[in-house]
């Protein structure tokens, strides 16, 4: 089985981090990217709580949790300013990238180049920067654990 290399995120702005993050720099670590919209009910009910739980669980391990705010509708009310309030109110501690919108009412750049179907989407990237999960919808804890356990065990070439 061949896995594609994860393309770099296209980011307007990073929250919750002093310096910009790139997948290139995270090589050697396992990366989970929670792609969400702040007004997407399934994201708020399921993905955000799960991402916060994983962030807390893996604080001291080589597993990095990131958020990606990919707004493809209602741009006016899911602005960076609104997102900052959302992140603060929901007490989210991990870095969040704002997906770059080239033109209003169009799919943002990262969502487009990854060909995502919508939100929530979960991307899991291995130590070699290869995409090992690209799932639209809800993913349960057991399946996330199974993949992370496997990826942690894999040797870097």
- Whether residue 139 is preceded by a cis peptide bond, meaning omega within 30 degrees of 0, is no
- Measured from the CB atom, the residue of 22 and 90 that comes closer to a copy of itself is 90
Of the ranges 8-16, 35-43, 97-105, 121-129, which one interacts with a copy of itself (CB under 8 A)?
A: 35-43
Give the number of other CB atoms < 10 A from CB of residue 120. 25
Question: Among 18, 149, 156, 157, which residue interacts with a copy of itself (rule: CB under 8 A)?
Answer: 149
- The answer to whether 144 contacts a copy of itself (rule: CB under 8 A) is yes
Please list every residue from 55 through 94 that binds a copy of itself, using CB under 8 A.
Answer: 57, 74, 76-77, 79, 81-82, 85-86, 89-90
Of the ranges 9-17, 23-31, 107-115, 146-154, which one interacts with a copy of itself (CB under 8 A)?
A: 146-154
Structure tokens at 93: 């501690």
Plot region of 70 (φ>0 → left; ψ -120 to 50 → alpha; else → beta):
beta
**Main-chain phi, psi angles of 112, to 5 degrees:** -70, -50
Report how far Cα 19 is from the mean position of its chain's Cα atoms.
17
- Measured from the CB atom, the residue of 9 and 67 that comes closer to a copy of itself is 67
Distance in angstroms (rounded) separating the CA atoms of residues 63 and 80:
26
In angstroms, give the least distance from the CB of 134 to a copy of itself.
18
């Amino acid at each position: 089985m061949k896995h594609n290399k994860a393309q770099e995120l296209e980011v307007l702005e990073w929250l919750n981090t002093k310096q910009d993050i790139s997948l290139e720099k995270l090589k050697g670590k396992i990366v989970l990217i929670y792609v969400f919209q702040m007004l997407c009910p399934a994201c708020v009910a399921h993905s955000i709580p799960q991402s916060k739980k994983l962030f807390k669980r893996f604080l001291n391990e080589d597993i990095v949790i990131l958020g990606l705010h990919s707004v493809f509708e209602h741009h006016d009310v899911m602005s960076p300013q609104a997102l900052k309030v959302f992140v603060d109110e929901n007490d989210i501690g991990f870095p969040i990238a704002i997906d770059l919108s080239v033109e209003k009412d169009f799919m943002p750049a990262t969502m487009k180049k990854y060909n995502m179907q919508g939100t929530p989407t979960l991307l899991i990237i291995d130590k070699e920067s290869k995409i090992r999960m690209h799932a639209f919808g809800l993913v349960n804890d057991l399946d996330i654990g199974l993949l992370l356990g496997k990826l942690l065990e894999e040797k870097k070439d």
